[in-house]
Amino acid sequence: MISNKLQDAINAQIVAEMWSANLYLSMSYYFAAKGYEGFAKWMKAQANEENEHAEQMAQYILRRGGEAKVGAIDAVPQEWDSPLAVFEHVYKHECHVSSLIDALVDLALAEKDKASQDFLMGFVREQVEEEATAQGIVDKMKLGGQSALYHLDAELGTRK
């Protein structure tokens, strides 16, 4: 059985994952309006992934005998200055999410909850990938400048 403290903390993370999903959906629409169909598709896949994280966390709480809750989700940004600014935002946001996941692991350790430690380590690994992917796109954009955006848009549009 999961402790109330950990249950509440993971429920808060469910809201954070849903906020992330909305952020990436907002970015997807921003790109679509600007004609970047590949970036828009990539962001929609990213949004779906965040909703999937929220679902995995909810199912985990339920399997451990707790109660999963969907809390209020704050509004997300809608405007950015450039494609580079969007992906810099993604990188910064993923670093923030990593710190949230780390804090959950710390709590699972404090609660001596081995199952939750094991469950959460999957997200620790996931965050390594998220940060690296976002950083990689930012690097490519900076290297290629404006003229590389067309090709990068096509490349990211191949994401399933």
Compare residues 3 and 56 and give the one whose CB is closer to Mg ion: 56
Closest approach of Cβ 136 to Mg ion, in Å?
Answer: 17
Which is nearest to 7 in space by CA: 97, 107, 94?
A: 107
Residue closest to Mg ion when measured from CB atoms: 53
Compare residues 50 and 113 and give the one whose CB is closer to Mg ion: 50
Closest approach of Cβ 128 to Mg ion, in Å?
Answer: 12
Q: Binding to Mg ion by residue 93, rule CB under 5 A?
A: no
Closest approach of Cβ 123 to Mg ion, in Å?
Answer: 7
Closest approach of Cβ 17 to Mg ion, in Å?
Answer: 5
The first and second tokens of residue 158, run together, are 């191949």
Give the Cα separation of 7 and 26 in Å (integer): 29
Residues in contact with Mg ion, counted by CB under 5 A, come to a total of 2
Compare residues 21 and 149 and give the one whose CB is closer to Mg ion: 21
Closest approach of Cβ 93 to Mg ion, in Å?
Answer: 10
Compare residues 18 and 107 and give the one whose CB is closer to Mg ion: 18
Compare residues 99 and 147 and give the one whose CB is closer to Mg ion: 99
How far apart, in Å, are the Cα atoms of 152 and each of 29, 133, 136, 156?
18, 13, 11, 6
* Helix runs in the chain, H state only: 4-34, 37-63, 83-110, 114-144, 149-156
| 19-78 residues near Mg ion, rule: CB under 5 A | 50, 53
Give the Cα separation of 50 and 52 in Å (integer): 5
Say if residues 58 and 68 touch (Cβ distance below 8 Å): yes
Say if residues 65 and 10 touch (Cβ distance below 8 Å): no
Binding site for Mg ion (CB under 5 A): 50, 53
